[in-house]
């Protein structure tokens, strides 16, 4: 029943509300979310702006790329293939054929969670994390459950990740 709901929500996301502008926005979000690079860039930017918390920002930012690596290890265990929707191919490419969990969601929620631990106002970054994660099933790259699992995994990573040098 949940698998059927997952497929139906994916189909709705992949076939409704599409057009040149929303697809372009989703593609851009997908690109900036690749490899966790946006989160590393934000960590470096915030470290420059807030030198008092430099190391915390850098450690939070590096969690974006680290989250991608940790996520891939989970993908290798689960081995869920990416969704296939007849007549509606994915919009975009992916480095692997594995779907569960979404690396974009994992890295985004991990870094946003860690950055919020550095400064409460960074909670606004969850808007970006949600947008990056949402675009994955919209583009047909992931089932919605892949994104939800990635967001949960990322949030946990962001809560346990060290935010500085260990003494």
Q: What mean pLDDT value characterizes the chain?
A: 92
Distance CA 155, CA 126 (A): 11
pLDDT in tens, the chain (167 residues): 888 998 999 988 988 888 899 999 999 999 999 999 999 999 999 999 999 999 999 999 999 999 999 999 999 999 999 998 888 888 877 778 888 999 999 999 999 999 999 999 999 999 999 999 999 999 999 999 999 999 999 999 999 998 876 44
Distance CA 99, CA 30 (A): 15
How much is the pLDDT for 87? 85
Q: What residue spans of 102-143 are helical by DSSP H?
A: 103-118, 125-138
How much is the pLDDT for 167? 42
Q: Which residues of 90-101 are buried (b: 16+ CB within 10 A; e: fewer)?
A: bbbebeeebbbb
Nearest residue to 155 via CA among 127, 116, 119: 116
Q: What is the pLDDT of residues 79-115, one digit of tens each?
A: 999 998 888 888 877 778 888 999 999 999 999 999 9
Q: What is the pLDDT of residues 107-122, one digit of tens each?
A: 999 999 999 999 999 9
What is the radius of gyration, based on Cα positions, of the chain?
16
Query: What architecture is the 2-160 domain classified under in CATH?
Result: Orthogonal Bundle (1.10)
């Amino acid at each position: 029943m949940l698998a059927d709901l997952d497929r139906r929500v994916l189909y709705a996301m992949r076939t409704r509300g599409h057009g040149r502008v929303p697809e372009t926005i989703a593609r851009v979000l997908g690109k900036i979310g690749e490899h966790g690079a946006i989160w590393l860039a934000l960590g470096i930017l915030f470290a420059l702006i807030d030198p008092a918390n430099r190391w915390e920002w850098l450690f939070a930012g590096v969690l974006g790329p680290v989250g991608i690596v940790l996520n891939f290890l989970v993908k290798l265990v689960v081995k869920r293939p990416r969704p296939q929707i007849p007549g509606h191919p994915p919009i975009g490419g992916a480095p692997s054929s594995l779907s569960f969990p979404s690396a974009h969601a994992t890295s985004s929620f991990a870094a946003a969670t860690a950055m919020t631990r550095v400064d409460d106002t960074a909670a606004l970054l969850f808007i970006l994390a949600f947008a990056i994660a949402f675009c994955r099933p919209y583009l047909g790259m992931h089932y919605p459950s892949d994104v939800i699992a990635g967001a949960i995994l990322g949030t946990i990573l962001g809560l346990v990740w060290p935010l500085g040098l260990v003494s």
